[in-house]
Structure 1
Amino acid sequence: MSEFHIGSVVTFGGYLWRILDLQPGAALMITEHIIEQHSYHNCAGDVTWADCSLRKYLNGEFYNKFTPAEQLRIVPVLNNNPDNSWYGSRGGEDTQDFIFLLSIEEAVCKYFGDSRQNLENRSAKQRYWFQKKDENNDKRKSTLDGHGWWWWLRSPGRDNRRAVYIHGDGNVGIQGNGTFRYNSINVHPSTGNNKGGVRPALWLSL
């Protein structure tokens, strides 16, 4: 399939997807834009990716929006879920997912340029934000209905009541936002709510 190369945008299941990686017979893809807003979890308290309601939604209701033929092309993957390297909060057990969110390591070190130097060398002044002047911030920006908005990663924030996210300017909120209630009074101009954006990722059989 000649249209499948890293960085290309393809259509699958009615969505636009950007190719992040290619392996023999399969492509890793993430939606080109934020496709909806969703809570990371449906109640207050500690949670990891393995048990959150957003994972259940993506691998259930969202997955079932694809046709049977499309579902056969979505490759289940075993995801490792590391602890937050700045705060030590638990990443939780490994998960087998059809649909998933990127981890902080994937978003920072692999698929939107390599900013591992900033991740691995936290300065004394960095408490909540990753690096506002990181050269790869522009690559992580995304929009919902044409407006810049923040989107979830699956990694835990500074504790397990928060999850890491990508700010509207592409910066990494490594301290995290509340998995059930959010630390922002800003609302999206077209939806009227402040929930985090969702950019699903999946491996597609070629």
Structure 2
Amino acid sequence: SGVNTLSSIVKPVLDAGNEVIELDEYTFSNTGDFNNFVSELSGEGHNKTQRISIFAKEHRDSLITIESNASIANQVKTLLKAENDREKEKAISVNGVTYTPITVKRGDIIKFGNYPQGNDGNKSPIEWLVLEVKENEALLISRYGLHCKPYNNSCSSITWEDSYLRRWLNNNFIKSAFSEEEIKNIKFSELKNKDNHESRARGGNDTKDRVFCLSIDEAEQFFGSRQCKPTAYARCHGASVNNSNNYCYWWLRSPGYHQHDATYVNPNGALYLYGSNVYSDGLAIRPALRINLQSVIF
């Protein structure tokens, strides 16, 4: 979804009369109507700054031409200043589409970064499911299982903090999937690594990661359906699927029944709290991350 226009928010005044103000598709019968319109546009509300900046950007040239009218000069200056101020606080632009806290919402699919997804190994844009929008950031998870790796590279008792999967996501994956500018837009998330509430297997220390797997609690909190299909690339690297529905198994970061197990989601979307051995193969990876929605334009 792109930036919205204001055509559904405000209506032009079409009355004929003295001091008619024409502003592209808007016609105001007098300077008072124009000033009232700008005052309403600049009124209270959580998306006030966004509404003003959109309007000013769309009508900048016309606003400059009418700025010389003394009766409306102050209001025009207000609009132009708002547009200039907004330039200092730009939203993230991905593949030509601009996203902001107003336009991104839970359940949206956006494209960010590039990673191999087909059998040929060529990179293509990664699709992300928006799990949460909070203030100026969004929590994302890959729409598909992007790769297949073990949780750890040996069969041993391990926590997320020391796991191979954590190292791979925050080194190999992030460097492969994102440019340096894109990486700057990925926030460090403070992760709670709780014990398994059934088996009491230890979750280990909390961590700060740019890229991570969801925990049991997060998978329960943010998802309706947790079913996921792997990319062809992930299947080439061993991701297993249920033959009846083609959905895959995918890792969570929480511990399973024992310290050498990690939890996962099965092809039916159910959480498997006893987990699988950390050295198991066949489980896909759905990276999760938080992006800053008010950052430099890529």
**TM-score, reference length from structure 2:** 0.55
Amino acid at match of 1:72: K
Runs of 4+ off more than 6 Å: none
Residue matched to 2:171: 60
Deviation at 1:158, TM superposition (A): 0.3
- Which residue of 282, 285, 288 corresponds with 1:201? 288
Deviation at 1:195, TM superposition (A): 2.1
Deviation at 1:101, TM superposition (A): 0.5
- Which residue of 143, 156, 180 corresponds with 1:32? 143
Deviation at 1:74, TM superposition (A): 0.1
- Which residue of 216, 226, 231 corresponds with 1:140? 226
Superposed, which structure 2 residues align to 1:184-199 within 5 Å? Answer: 194-199=281-286
Residue matched to 1:131: none
Greater share of helix = 2
- Which residue of 188, 210, 216 corresponds with 1:104? 216
Residue matched to 1:78: 190
Select the structure of larger CA radius of gyration: 2
Amino acid at match of 2:167: K
CA contact (8 A) 1:3 1:10 kept: no
Amino acid at match of 2:162: D
Deviation at 1:201, TM superposition (A): 0.3
Query: Does residue 1:43 correspond to 2:129, yes or no?
Result: no
Residue matched to 2:51: none
CA distance in 2, matches of 1:61, 1:22: 27
Residue matched to 2:256: 157
Deviation at 1:145, TM superposition (A): 3.2
Ranked by relative contact order (alpha carbons within 8 Å, sequence separation 6 or more), the top structure is 1
- Alignment root-mean-square deviation, CA: 1.1
CA contact (8 A) 1:151 1:166 kept: yes
- Give 5+ residue unaligned stretches, structure 1: 114-138, 183-193
CA contact (8 A) 1:151 1:197 kept: yes
Deviation at 1:32, TM superposition (A): 0.5
Residue matched to 2:46: none
- Which residue of 126, 129, 135 corresponds with 1:18? 129
CA distance in 2, matches of 1:77, 1:151: 21
Residue matched to 2:272: 173
CA contact (8 A) 1:11 1:17 kept: yes
Residue matched to 2:86: none
What SS does the corresponding residue of 2:171 show, helix, strand or coil? helix
Amino acid at match of 1:75: K
Deviation at 1:3, TM superposition (A): 4.0
What SS does the corresponding residue of 1:144 show, helix, strand or coil? coil
Q: 1:140-166: per-residue Cα shift (whole Å, max 9, x none)?
A: 100113731100000000011110000
Q: 1:90-140: per-residue Cα shift (whole Å, max 9, x none)?
A: 0000001000000000101x1014xxxxxxxxxxxxxxxxxxxxxxxxx01
Equivalent residues, number: 168
Amino acid at match of 2:218: E
Amino acid at match of 1:103: S
**TM-score, reference length from structure 1:** 0.79
- Give 5+ residue unaligned stretches, structure 2: 1-99, 114-124, 233-245, 294-298
Query: Does residue 1:90 correspond to 2:202, yes or no?
Result: yes
Deviation at 1:36, TM superposition (A): 1.0
The sequence identity of aligned pairs, in percent, is 33
CA distance in 1, matches of 2:126, 2:181: 16
